[in-house]
Amino acid sequence: MGNGCLCIADDGKGSVHQTEVTQDAGSGWGLTIMRKRAELVGGRFRLDTVPGKGTSITVEIEGGV
């Protein structure tokens, strides 16, 4: 099987970038759970955000699932 990639992006207000996504990074567990689920299947989770420009979340999984 090939590699899988999911990217979700918006052009909203963005947020302050943090190198690690933790429970304290937002109003709940959403980003933390996304990262953990990606890691459970051998994937990588990336959050890119620029204040005033938007946010993108990318999950890459090598070898497919």
Domain at 35, CATH number: 3.30.565.10
Q: Is the pLDDT of residue 35 over 70?
A: yes
pLDDT more than 90, % of the chain: 46
Cα gap 8→1, rounded to integer Å: 22
Q: How many domains does the chain have?
A: 1
pLDDT attached to residue 24 = 52
* Contact indicator for 59, 6 with CB cutoff of 8 Å: yes
Host domain of residue 15? 4-61
**What tens digit of pLDDT does each residue of 4-34 get?**
999 999 988 877 655 444 545 556 789 899 9
DSSP 17: -
